[in-house]
């Protein structure tokens, strides 16, 4: 079977269907095979209504009396109906799913699966899934093609465009006889004698796993199949990390030796004392900079932990050695904040700094001085990576919030260091002359040292897998004097009594408010709060306050102007989307309000909360829930903990790696099955990946046997590697 063939090679998939599948990311036969069921149902488990007991149930019946009501007090759309079979009827209810009122044909039977419990004095079925009974009882369609049977486990596929679960069954049924022809993927399955794989990896294991995923007879078969496929994903990811680390170790970099006197001059001049965590992270980096191979280090620290000063000390070591440094920030206002904060610390020590952003007026003059080596520390945004921005001897790249830059953008910056120039003659101290002894020959192409910073705490398991080719430093403590942020969960209906008086009090004391909304404008398909509607509401509630809004569709200059005015105290309440997640330091902001908080992940909630509590004022974060149910585990964890690393681990368990990785890196990790909380499987895959990487290093020709595997590894390397 040719897994790289287009999906049109599958019987039943024409050009029109293929276009729909492509929009869902399914381009090839392989993509289709790995489109696994989201769940499995045994429709023989359905029970009569008269026999129902509280808990998760499945019932077959017809639905009627559907209607949707909007409740002003609760801010909800409630859709209700009645499900009836030949033994009785029950009430069914959906929250904020108004489309349900038009979804059903009252003359047809459906299987409903959900929670049946006592609510407000009567039993009801709450927010069930629904499957048309005819879709799981037919043995053939009108053209005689085989389809589902009402026996055993039935895979349930997520709908893609107009393609429902039943259609995916037909696609796989058309391929059933060819599953045995699926080629193996992993080392240990192709007449290899250099690696002994785990017992669940054997010739044909991949074909078995995919077949049992789509045509299972028992739950044990599903578990067995998922274990292999999860291992396959983890192995690819970990092998990609190992190979990236090997490649990085073969690169050359300028050595930037540690100079104790220079470092002490800078540290002694700081208006504050470094924390122990900052000292440890700084020492890790300074040691790396003195090596002839490029540093590839990720510096992670909670919001406000002091990553920037660690980066400044690192930059000073590079400049002291006669080389240039570039600091790339995602927004103009953040780049300006870095420049204005670091210049008073570094300029007195002889560091020649400049800021290069879109609004910079002296761009040509700055670029000329940069190319000549007169400027040795450049801070800026995307303006740094334009083709006409040239460095004389760039040796250290610092990328703040690196996940906000694409792979290509990061590479453009790194390639600016691939020069063979010697260090600048303008050294800061005579003691640095010794560094010239460590230079590589003139014909060497150098890679830069790379320090990437993120305020998103990364779980340990992600460090070992996704960022396995990196060295990681953690600043796990906050500087003294930082206020703990008090976090509270509020229902939407409680804002008037419990939130609005607090807002009035804080504004009266001269403090400022962030107010986060999910959408920019009202969307009839979504019940979440919009920025523009909330702005009008707050302007009416607090007529004496200056209320303005901010969102991602605004022009960069307009966004910067709004943020500058907020930072300058000219705006009392800033209503915004999550565009403020990474923003300027506003010590006067004391309250963060997050509407529809249950729709965000913990990492993002924690990042947003970190926008306040940056001064000496007591600060608060209010998580507003639009649901009438009990607070989610995610919100309860936010209310109880301000430890970003603890929250990151919880987020990983609740939402899985894909969501968290989306917040860390441009691109989609797209792990379909593996969970990065499966420590035993990660341990096995890590051990095997190291063995295979070593074998590939000794015998590169062995890679040729694994073309599909190496293609997948190349994809992971593009997403995960930073240098």
Does 141 map to a domain?
A: no
In the chain, which stretches have pLDDT less than 70? 72-75, 137-152, 190-194, 402-411, 414, 417-445, 458-470, 481, 522-528, 581-583, 655-671, 676-677, 718-723
- The CATH number of the domain holding residue 371 is 3.40.50.300
Asked whether residue 45 falls in the same domain as residue 168, the answer is no
**pLDDT for residue 460:** 61
Of 136, 165, 197, the residue that ends a domain is 136
| DSSP symbol at 553 | T
pLDDT value at residue 410: 60
Question: Do 60 and 21 share a structural domain?
Answer: no
Residues 60 and 101 in one domain: yes
270 shares a domain with 132: no
232 and 124 co-located in one domain: no
* Residue 77 lies inside a defined structural domain of this protein: yes
Beta bridge partners of 451: 297, 398
The answer on 354 and 276 residing in a single domain is yes
CA distance linking residue 508 with residue 553, whole number of Å: 31
Q: Torsion angle of alpha carbons 610, 611, 614, 620, nearest 10°?
A: -80
Q: What is the domain extent for residue 124?
A: 41-136
- CATH number, domain containing residue 122: 2.40.50.140
Residue 655 in any domain: the answer is: no
Q: Up-side HSE of residue 690: CA atoms within 13 Å toward CB?
A: 9
Q: Is residue 663 part of a domain?
A: no
Q: Does residue 244 share a domain with residue 123?
A: no
659, part of any domain: no
Q: What are phi and psi of 22, to 5 degrees?
A: -65, -35
Do residues 536 and 597 both lie within one domain? yes
pLDDT score of 383? 85
Residue 144: inside a domain = no
Residue 143 lies in a domain: no
The residue among 355, 344, 360, 404 whose CA lies nearest residue 377 is 355
DSSP 8-class letter at 77: E
| Pair 599, 517: CB distance under 8 Å | no
Same domain, 412 and 308: yes
Q: Where are the beta strands (DSSP E) in 486-595?
A: 486-491, 512-516, 547-550, 573-576, 589-594
Residue 8 is part of a domain; what is its CATH number? 1.10.150
The Cβ of residue 592 has, within 10 Å, a number of other Cβ atoms equal to 24
As given in the structure block, the two tokens for residue 470 are: 């990196």
Strand order in the sheet with 547-550: 486-491, 620-625, 589-594, 512-516, 573-576, 547-550
- pLDDT number for residue 367: 93
Phi-psi label, residue 621: left if phi above 0, alpha if psi -120 to 50, beta otherwise: beta
The pLDDT value given to residue 251:
82
Query: DSSP per residue over 640-702, as a string?
Result: H---HHHHHHHHHHHH-HHHHHHTTSSS----SS--TT-HHHHHHHHHHHHHHHHHHHH-GGG
Nearest to 546 by CA among 569, 573, 523: 573
Residues 28 and 78 reside in one and the same domain: no
Q: Is residue 10 part of a domain?
A: yes
pLDDT at 469: 56
On whether both 466 and 493 belong to a single domain, the answer is: no
User: Into how many domains does the chain fold?
Assistant: 5
What is the value of pTM for the model shown?
0.66
Read off φ and ψ for residue 197, nearest 5 degrees: -75, 165
Predicted local distance difference test score (pLDDT) of residue 120:
75
Predicted local confidence at residue 333, as pLDDT: 79
Check whether residue 634 and residue 544 sit in a common domain.
yes
């Amino acid at each position: 079977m040719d897994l790289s063939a287009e999906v049109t090679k599958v019987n039943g998939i024409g050009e029109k269907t293929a276009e729909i599948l492509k929009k869902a990311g399914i381009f090839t036969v392989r993509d289709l095979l790995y489109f696994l069921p989201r769940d499995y149902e045994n429709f023989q488990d359905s029970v009569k209504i008269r026999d129902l007991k509280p808990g998760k149930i499945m019932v077959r019946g017809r639905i009627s009396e559907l209607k949707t009501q909007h409740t002003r007090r609760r801010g909800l759309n409630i859709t209700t109906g009645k499900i009836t079979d030949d033994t009785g009827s029950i009430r069914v209810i959906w929250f904020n799913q108004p489309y349900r009122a038009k979804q059903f044909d009252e003359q047809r039977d459906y299987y409903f699966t959900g929670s049946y419990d006592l609510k407000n004095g009567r039993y009801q079925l709450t927010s069930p899934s629904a499957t048309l009974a005819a879709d799981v009882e037919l043995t053939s369609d009108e053209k005689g093609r085989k389809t589902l049977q009402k026996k055993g486990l039935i895979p349930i596929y997520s709908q893609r465009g107009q393609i429902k679960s039943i259609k995916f069954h037909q696609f796989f049924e058309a391929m059933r006889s060819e599953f045995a022809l699926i080629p193996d993927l992993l080392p240990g399955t192709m007449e290899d004698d250099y690696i002994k794989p785990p017992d669940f990896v054997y010739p044909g294991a991949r074909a078995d796993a995919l077949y049992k995923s789509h045509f299972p007879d028992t739950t044990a078969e599903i578990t067995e199949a998922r274990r292999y496929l999860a291992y396959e994903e983890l192995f690819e990811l970990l092998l990609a990390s190992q190979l990236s680390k090997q490649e990085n170790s073969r690169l050359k970099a300028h050595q930037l030796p540690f100079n104790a006197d220079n470092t002490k001059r800078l540290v002694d001049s700081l208006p504050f004392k470094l924390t122990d965590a900052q000292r440890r992270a700084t020492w890790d980096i300074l040691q790396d900079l003195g090596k002839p191979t490029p540093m590839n280090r990720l510096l992670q620290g909670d919001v406000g932990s002091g990553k920037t000063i660690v980066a400044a000390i690192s930059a000073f070591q590079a400049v002291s050695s006669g080389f240039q440094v570039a600091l790339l920030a995602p927004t103009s206002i953040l780049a300006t904040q870095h420049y204005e904060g670091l210049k008073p610390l570094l300029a007195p020590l002889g560091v020649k700094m400049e800021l290069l952003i879109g609004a910079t007026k002296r761009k040509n003059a700055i670029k000329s001085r940069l190319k000549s080596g007169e400027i040795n520390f450049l801070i800026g945004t995307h303006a740094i990576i334009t083709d006409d921005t040239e460095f004389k001897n760039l040796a250290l790249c610092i990328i703040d919030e690196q996940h906000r830059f694409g792979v290509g953008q990061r590479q453009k910056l790194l390639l600016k260091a691939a020069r063979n120039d010697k260090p600048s003659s303008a050294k800061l101290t005579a003691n640095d002359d010794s560094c010239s002894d460590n230079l590589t020959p003139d014909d060497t192409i150098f890679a830069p040292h790379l320090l990437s910073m993120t305020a998103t705490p990364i779980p340990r398991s992600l460090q070992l897998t996704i960022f396995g080719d990196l060295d990681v430093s953690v600043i796990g403590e906050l500087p003294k004097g930082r206020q703990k942020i008090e976090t509270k969960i509020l229902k939407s209906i409680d804002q008037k009594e419990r939130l609005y008086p607090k807002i009035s009090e804080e504004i009266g004391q001269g403090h400022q408010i962030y107010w986060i909304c999910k959408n920019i404008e009202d969307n009839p398909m979504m019940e979440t709060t919009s920025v523009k509607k909330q702005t009008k509401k707050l302007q009416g509630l607090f007529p004496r306050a200056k209320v303005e809004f901010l969102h991602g569709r605004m022009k960069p200059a307009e966004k910067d102007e709004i943020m500058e005015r907020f930072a300058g105290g000219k705006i009392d309440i800033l209503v915004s989307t999550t565009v403020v997640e990474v923003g300027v330091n506003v010590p006067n902001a004391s309250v963060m309000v997050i509407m529809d908080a249950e729709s965000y992940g913990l990492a993002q909630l924690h990042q947003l909360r970190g926008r306040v509590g940056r001064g000496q004022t007591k600060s608060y974060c209010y998580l507003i829930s639009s649901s009438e149910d009990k607070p989610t585990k995610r919100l309860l964890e936010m209310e109880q903990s301000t430890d970003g690393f603890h929250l990151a681990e919880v987020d990983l368990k609740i939402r899985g790696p894909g969501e968290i990785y989306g917040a860390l890196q441009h691109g989609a990790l797209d792990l379909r099955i593996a969970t990065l909380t499966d420590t035993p499987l990660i341990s096995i895959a890590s051990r095997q990946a190291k063995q295979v990487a070593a074998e590939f290093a000794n015998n590169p020709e062995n890679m040729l046997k694994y073309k599909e595997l190496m293609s997948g590894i190349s994809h992971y390397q593009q997403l995960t590697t930073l240098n």
